[in-house]
Amino acid sequence: MAKAKPTACDNRTARLRDLHERMVLIRRVETRLGELFAEDEIPGFIHLSIGQEATATGIGAALGTDDTISSTHRGHGHALAKGMDLGGFFLELFGKADGICAGRGGSMHVADFDIGMLGANGIVGAGLPIALGSALAHQVKGRKSLSAAFFGDGAMGEGVLHECLNLASIWSLPVLFVCENNGWGEFSPSDKMLATTPLKLAAAFDVPAKSVDGNDVEAVADLAGTLSDAIRAGKGPHLLECKTTRVLGHFAGDPQKYRDPAEIEALAKKDPILRAERKLRRAGISAGDLAATSERIDNAVEAAIMQARNGANADFASAAAAVYAGGA
């Protein structure tokens, strides 16, 4: 007997399962990073995106390998959503020789150019011109690709955002500006720091913009898909504001004394992963199924951590020889 043709509803559930799985992966990776950082196994500064997984995942779902992204200091989710290899990722976070950046960059500089991930960035707003330049390369070389620039609401105060909206607009560049609006710029609430909104700012530069519930992964993926299609069709840059939630502090270990504990507590209701799970359960996915997904991801993450722990340390001479390309 021939198999029943999958219905649109089945396809949607299958897609949500993929999106959910990617979010669980990001959550698990970052939860473990927080622990490893607290235990001093991972050095440096770590900025976690727990609570924001749906934006990275939803945008990532709309992009292909030939599309490029630039990311922020809170970039683990973007990297993983773009398809960064878990092994190379953890090796990098541990500062090991076989890390994706040879142990020279760390959390704030994960990059994988083979999949179009042009780097997390330690400077607020600095990824925006890089994504813009990548879009320029797509345009000049006649590629059908687009370039997505992730930035937080904190970057709204940076001049380069304004410059990039302007330049992308006048050159009609294939850029998707993605504002992850979590309401906080480091330790300060954005409503006290910013006199405008992402949508108003985009409008000032004639860049079409939409806002979405950034914790609804399906909504993000749908709208990112629509805007990406428009960009690929030559309609120039677009902006997508994803309203999301930063559950933890600016950096791992931040006690968040500047925040009302009740506000943080209320974020649990908006958790993007729990929301996706409720939808999946309603669509008939069993709790056991979801638990199995979670376990599979846990195992993959633990294997990557073990590999990273046992990896060789980055070698100083190799780093010293890499200051210039071509060794000169």
Binding site for other proteins (CB under 8 A): 68, 70, 92, 99-105, 109, 111-114, 118-119, 121-123, 126, 128-141, 147, 159-160, 163-164, 166-167, 170-171, 319, 322-326, 328
H or E element: which one contains 102? none
Least distance (Å) between residue 128 CB and other proteins: 7
Least distance (Å) between residue 269 CB and other proteins: 38
CA distances from 28 to 65, 105, 274 (A): 24, 22, 14
Which CB atom, from 27 or from 82, has the smaller least distance to other proteins? 82
Q: Write the CB contacts of 316 (distance below 8 Å, at least 6 apart in sequence).
A: none
Least distance (Å) between residue 140 CB and other proteins: 6
The alpha carbon torsion through 316, 322, 324, 326 (nearest 10 deg) reads: 140
Measured in Å, how far apart are the chain's first and last C-alpha atoms? 67
Which CB atom, from 284 or from 327, has the smaller least distance to other proteins? 327
Least distance (Å) between residue 220 CB and other proteins: 24
Which CB atom, from 166 or from 188, has the smaller least distance to other proteins? 166
Within 10 angstroms of residue 173's Cβ, the number of other Cβ atoms is 23
Residue type, 126: A
Least distance (Å) between residue 64 CB and other proteins: 15
Which CB atom, from 121 or from 181, has the smaller least distance to other proteins? 121
Which CB atom, from 290 or from 304, has the smaller least distance to other proteins? 304
Please name the residue that has the structure tokens 């290899």. Answer: 85
Least distance (Å) between residue 127 CB and other proteins: 9
Using CA of residue 90, residue 251, residue 246, residue 35, what is the dihedral sign?
positive
Which CB atom, from 14 or from 123, has the smaller least distance to other proteins? 123
Using CA of residue 265, residue 198, residue 121, residue 93, what is the dihedral sign?
positive
Which CB atom, from 268 or from 322, has the smaller least distance to other proteins? 322
CA distances from 15 to 21, 62, 102, 240, 243 (A): 10, 12, 34, 21, 22
Which residue from 110, 118, 69 is spatially nearest to 89, judged by alpha carbons?
A: 110
Which residue from 135, 142, 140, 44 is spatially nearest to 94, judged by alpha carbons?
A: 44
Least distance (Å) between residue 155 CB and other proteins: 12
Query: Checking phi first, is residue 36 left (phi over 0); if not, alpha (psi -120 to 50) or beta?
Result: alpha
Which CB atom, from 204 or from 268, has the smaller least distance to other proteins? 204
Least distance (Å) between residue 234 CB and other proteins: 14
Rg (CA), the chain: 20
